[in-house]
Structure 1
Amino acid sequence: MLEHLSSLPRQMDYKGQKLAEQMFQGIILFSVTVGFIHRYVAEYFRWTVCIVMAGFAFSCLLTLPPWPIYGRHPLKWLPVQDSGIEDKKPGERKIKRLAKNN
């Protein structure tokens, strides 16, 4: 089973994050609205809480794992460029000190 879990994608791009956030908010808003209407009509609070909690659990199931739908727009990174600055050893670097104003 661990082999199957390691094959799942683990990346979520920025557009995927935005989509997941919008889905999460939409599902929560829908479940709260349905729960409130049920509370108003049936006057039974326990089912209202169950409806809202079911909406929360469903939204978590859809938005928390990095499903492949959230990784459709990967970022294209720039290639590595040589900066021309040689790396110095820590002992060779000059330490800049601030002047004290007395």
Structure 2
Amino acid sequence: MSLTAQLDALRDSLECKIDFVGQDLVERRARVILWASAAVAFVLGFALQNLKITFAIFTLGFLGCLAVTLPPLPAYNAHPVKWLDPLGEYGEVKSAVAAGGSSGAIEGKKGR
């Protein structure tokens, strides 16, 4: 197997597709986890006057955020995108039957 084929196989195995609603959910979860871990890290680090504890707590929060947001969980694919039917040259909906020939009547171009 060539290097290009191996890289393509690796890319395909690591590609995690999620829908738009899932992207919003991931973004909100990441924001909450990171802000919460930053607040806890700051308060405990300030109370104990220890910068090492501050960075350790924030690092744990960051790793937890990665664990929650990186895998393509089923909740991130619960709303698949429904694509519209393709439009013809004049704005009419193309169907599988009409794609091969003309249907006769042609509507005017739709204003966009």
TM-score, normalising length from structure 1? Answer: 0.67
What is the identity percentage for the equivalent residue pairs of Structure 1 and Structure 2? Answer: 32
Shift of 1:67: 1.2
CA RMSD of aligned residues (A): 2.2
SS state at 2:17 partner: coil
**2:64 matched to 1:58?**
yes
Equivalent of residue 70 in structure 1, options 76, 80, 98:
76
Residues of 1 paired with 2:71 and 2:43: CA distance? 30
Residues of 1 paired with 2:16 and 2:59: CA distance? 27
Aligned length: 80
Amino acid at match of 2:48: A
Amino acid at match of 1:32: A
Equivalent of residue 48 in structure 2, options 42, 47, 55:
42
**2:36 matched to 1:30?**
yes
Decide which moves more: 75-84 or 10-19.
75-84
Residues of 2 paired with 1:12 and 1:61: CA distance? 16
Decide which moves more: 72-81 or 61-70.
72-81
Equivalent of residue 18 in structure 2, options 12, 15, 30:
12
Amino acid at match of 2:41: G
TM-score, normalising length from structure 2? Answer: 0.62
